[in-house]
Amino acid sequence: MTSGDNLFGRLLGRTSATSLDTPGPPTPGLHLQLDHQGHVLSISGTLRPQLASHGVGETRPLLRELLCASSALSIEGRPADWQRQSLDLDFQGATGQVLHTRGWIEAEGDGWSLRLLDVSDLLAGSQLAQHREQNHQLACQMSGQLRVCSLTRLPEVFNEHLRSLAQRWRIPCVALALLDEEDQGWRIYSHYAAHDAPALWRTGQHLGTSLDSVSGNTPLSLAQERSDNPRLQSIFGNADGFLVPYRDSQGVAAWLLCGLYNGQPHTSEQDWLNLTAALAAPLLSRLREQRYHQQLDRMEALQGLLGTGWWELLPATDEIQLAPQLLHSLSPEDGPSRQPLDLWLELIHPADRQELNSRLHDLQALGKPLLTSVRLQRTDAEHNPLWYRVQGQVLGMGDNRRWVGFMLDISDIKNQQLQAAAAHARLDNLIASSPAVIYVQRYVSGALHPAFFSDSLLPLLGWTLAECSHDSLASLIHPEDRDLYFERTRQLLREGAVRSRYRLRDKQGHYHWLLDEAKLLRDDLGLPLEAVGLWLDVTEATQAAEQIKQSEERYRLLVEDSPAMICRYRPDLTLTFGNTPLANYLECLPAQLPGLNLGHWLSEEQRQAFVQRIGQLSAEFPVSTAEISLELPGREHAWWVWSDRGVFDEQGTLVEVQAVGRDNTEVRRSQQQLTQSAKMATLGEMATGLAHEINQPLNVMRMAIVNVLKRLSNGDAQIDYLTEKLQRIDTQVQRAARVVDHMRVFGRRSEIEQQLFDPSQAVDGTLSLLGEGLRGKGVEVRVTPADSAVQVKGYVDQLEQVLINLVVNARDALLSKRDKDPTFRPWVAVHCEHDSRHVRIWVEDNGGGIDPRLLERIFEPFFTTKPIGVGTGLGLSVSYGIVENMGGRLSVTNGEHGARFCVELPIS
């Protein structure tokens, strides 16, 4: 072991034999002997045991090696440089704490003597005073900002201070609880929680009365109260807590809640109380100020809504002071709230001004309370005057007397009273001139005696009260109705109310039907007092009801005996009534019709169209007519011409449908037969062209067979040649088959119900039948198809029949013209076009057109311009009916070159 290690050990007091300590009694404080380089030679004094221990060695340590890091940096140079300076040195203590010392250095012999005193208590007191000063400044700053900030920013500013408090004292979760004046419980006004801490509370949380049982004099930790007050556990949960009360003149008014925190040692209880008071006192003051302003606002709003306010007389200046809201209600023009009394009286209506002035003088001179109602002098209140109730009294005695009162807007009540009085007068006049009689019957000895009749009795029946006494009233009742009248009286006494109808004779001997409604009034013991009732003359209504009943009977007979089918049904097609013809047609009894659904006999497509048509009925257009097709079991299709009329409620909703129909089956079948006959006639007229269509492929096949036979006879039959001829023969066979098949389809009867199809199919079918024949006769065919496909609803074969009729008529006219003029070059054009709603097919030729005098008759049945025996006169008429049945229109005009027929159909 070196000498340096032994010296270091002796400095730390670990050896005694080789210690550098000087013998003798210890000196106060700490005494260190230093050499000129600052090495420690010896350590003595009462503070030496408090120094930290170091390793033992022979090397003498420097002074800075014994100091803390902060003090070691402040010791520079040699001991000679530290003279005449106050040295604050911090040594490393034996228990890990810092030993704070203050002293000086002086020369002693060949070295230096450093004498130090313990100043830890002095520094701790200084730090505590500095901390308290900072706390006081922070409290003043928070209190000042809370007192000067606006009421709208008060919650925001308070929350910022709460956050500053939590961050300064490192409180994970802090909140302020205030006493709720409404339910006398505690409620969290604001809270703050660090980002890594659980939120123990939330703003607005109701804490109940748990804090009422806590002693509210000094701050306390939750651990102090947890055993005595387990109710606090519900507030803090399992976390530690710290509570600080704030007490004002009314007791504890606020609590500062510090969650997950036990308090810092250097912050005293008084500091916590001051900090809590700095937060709670201005906050409560501002909240009370806010409630006061809210109460003032509510009171002003209430005064404005009620049209009321206070007033005070100032006799010394002959003035009156009015509440601002009252002044605004009295005069739309803003003025001073303190004004001369005469100016205020000018606001009162002249009819009430003098009386009010007199009562004000009585109030001042005699102390007589003031209570009156006055009207305002307002030009805008002629029809509905503004009424105010003015009330006043004297307060105080002697020189301290004050004359105060209020004004209340009673316009609604006063105007209602006036209107009620006027209405009562009008009602009296109305009753006196109306067919209604109000009566009162007194209950006397078990009977009802007439005691009062309204003035309308005399003009209605000609009797007076004296003439309608108890004894004579029964004789005025019709003999057939007297039993009913006596039963009416017994029922009134038994049940307390009655409603009956009987006849009463007037003074001229005529009987009137009266509707009698009466109610019995009883006393507190339930005994009858009087009956109050009403006689209403319902003679005309009774007679009208009888007439209606007779009319309904006649209507019922008319409906039942009518040959037409009449019924009523709901919007879902469920029958509610049906007459006998309808029941007979449906092969059931009339009583079985209600509850049946019309859709049962309709196809799905027909039913959807039916429902759609019914749905389009409205109160403005309630009638709809259509032809419907029914599928009756065991019978062929039936057609009805059906007319519906909708019945609507007050909101315009369809409630019921009344319908009338007739059987149109025979007419429809006749139309179908006519259409089929016209179709077959058209086929007959096309016979020549169809023969040409079939002869053409036959001729081609014949020529091909002749050529093949010739080659075979010559022995020159090649496979390629025979194959080409056989293919040509097959093509012509298919062509002839298409013509025959299309003729067979065209000649077939049409479908029962209309179908969706593309009208271009009818155009193609027409050209396939007539195209080659037209070209064979030298007629040019020009076709312009539609640019896109559309669909219409109807019968494709019938539309093809229409187009064939138009093209054949054009062909006949063109050939007739060419017979007269061999140089004529005929042509027929078929043009298709459509828009968003309709498709149009134009058939045009260059035959010169139709005589304008014949255009109006061109679609009449049996009208034709062809020679006798050539045309039937039904083609265009049937075509017109076909297009119309499909919902379209067939028209004709003369164009530039000739006739132009247009088939216009609606797009589905």
- Determine the pLDDT at residue 61: 80
Segment among 56-60, 122-126, 206-210, 358-362 with least mean pLDDT:
56-60
pLDDT of residue 270: 83
Position 22 scores a pLDDT of: 44
The yes-or-no verdict on residue 147 having pLDDT over 60 is yes
Top mean pLDDT of 163-172, 381-390, 417-426, 667-676 is at 163-172
pLDDT for residue 57 is more than 60: no
Domain with CATH 3.30.565.10 in the chain: 685-906
Higher-scoring residue by pLDDT: 231, 205: 205
Residue 150, token pair as written in the block: 């606006």
Average pLDDT over residues 577-586: 83
Superfamily of domain 434-543: PAS domain (3.30.450.20)
pLDDT tens for each residue of 780-811:
888 888 777 888 888 787 788 788 888 888 88
Write out the residue limits of the CATH 3.30.450.20 domain(s) in the chain: 310-417, 434-543, 562-663
- Quote the pLDDT of residue 181: 72
Q: Give the mean pLDDT of 843-848.
A: 88
**Token pair for 178:** 């205030």
Q: Is the pLDDT of residue 561 over 90?
A: no
The answer to whether residue 499 scores a pLDDT higher than 90 is yes
pLDDT band at 520 (very low <50, low <70, confident <90, very high): very high
Give residue 221's pLDDT: 61
Q: What is the mean pLDDT of the chain?
A: 79
CATH no., domain 685-906? 3.30.565.10
Residue 25 CA to residue 196 CA, distance in Å, equals 57
Confidence band, pLDDT 50/70/90 cuts, at residue 626: confident
Q: What is the pLDDT of residues 713-744, one digit of tens each?
A: 777 767 777 777 777 777 666 666 666 655 55
Which among 317, 302, 303 is positioned nearest to 407, based on CA atoms? 303
- State the pLDDT confidence band at 478, using cuts at 50, 70 and 90: very high
Q: In the β-sheet with 387-395, what is the strand arrangement from edge to edge?
A: 338-340, 319-322, 309-314, 402-409, 387-395, 370-375
Q: What is the pLDDT of residue 491?
A: 92
Class of domain 133-293: alpha beta
* pLDDT above 60 for 56: no
How far is Cα 498 from Cα 480, in angstroms, rounded to an integer?
19
Residue corresponding to tokens 């007076």:
464
- Using the predicted structure, report yes or no on whether residue 498 has a pLDDT greater than 90: yes
Going by pLDDT thresholds of 50, 70 and 90, the confidence category of residue 521 is: very high
What's the topology of domain 562-663? Beta-Lactamase (3.30.450)
Give the pLDDT band of residue 500 (cuts 50, 70, 90).
Answer: very high
User: CA 866 to CA 801: how far, in whole Å?
Assistant: 19
Q: Are strands 827-834 and 780-784 parallel, antiparallel or unpaired?
A: parallel
- How much is the pLDDT for 834? 87
Name the nearest CA neighbour of 780 among 763, 762, 767. Answer: 767
Per-residue model confidence (pLDDT) at position 13? 40
Q: What are phi and psi of 477, to 5 degrees?
A: -75, 145
More confident residue, 693 or 237: 237
pLDDT at 182 over 80: no
**How does residue 427 score in pLDDT terms, banded at 50, 70 and 90?**
confident
CB 19 within 8 A of CB 62: no
Structure confidence at residue 10 as a pLDDT band (50, 70, 90): very low
Given a cut of 60, whether residue 98 has pLDDT beyond it is yes
- Most confident among 277-286, 598-607, 869-878 (mean pLDDT): 277-286
- pLDDT higher than 50, residue 538: yes
Q: For position 518, what pLDDT does the model report? A: 93
How many CB atoms are located within 10 Å of the residue 719 CB?
7
User: 3-118 — its CATH code?
Assistant: 3.30.450
Tokens of 541: 């209504």
In which band, very low, low, confident or very high, does the pLDDT at 902 lie, cut at 50, 70 and 90? very high
pTM for this entry: 0.38
Query: Which residue bears the tokens 């003498």?
Result: 60
The per-residue pLDDT for 517 is 92
**Predicted local distance difference test score (pLDDT) of residue 2:** 38
Who has greater pLDDT, 150 or 94? Answer: 150
Q: List helix spans (H) across 626-664.
A: none
Q: Is 20's pLDDT higher than 60?
A: no
- pLDDT, residue 393, reads 92
Task: Give just the sign of the alpha carbon dihedral 60, 66, 70, 71.
Answer: negative
Q: Look at residue 868 in the predicted model and tell me its pLDDT.
A: 44
pLDDT at 19: 39
pLDDT of the residue at 502? 92
Asked if the model's pLDDT at residue 485 lies above 80, the reply is: yes
- The pLDDT tens digits for 638-657 are 777 788 888 898 888 888 98
3-state secondary structure of 96: coil
Percent of the chain clearing pLDDT 70 (strictly above): 81
Q: Which residue has the tokens 């304008």?
A: 852
Question: In whole angstroms, what is the distance from residue 396 CA to residue 408 CA?
Answer: 24
Contacts of 685 (CB under 8 A, 6+ apart): 808
pLDDT of residue 753: 60
With 90 as the cut, is the pLDDT of residue 497 above it? yes
CATH number of the 310-417 domain: 3.30.450.20
pLDDT of residue 867: 52
Helix (H) or strand (E) run with residue 107 in it: strand 98-108
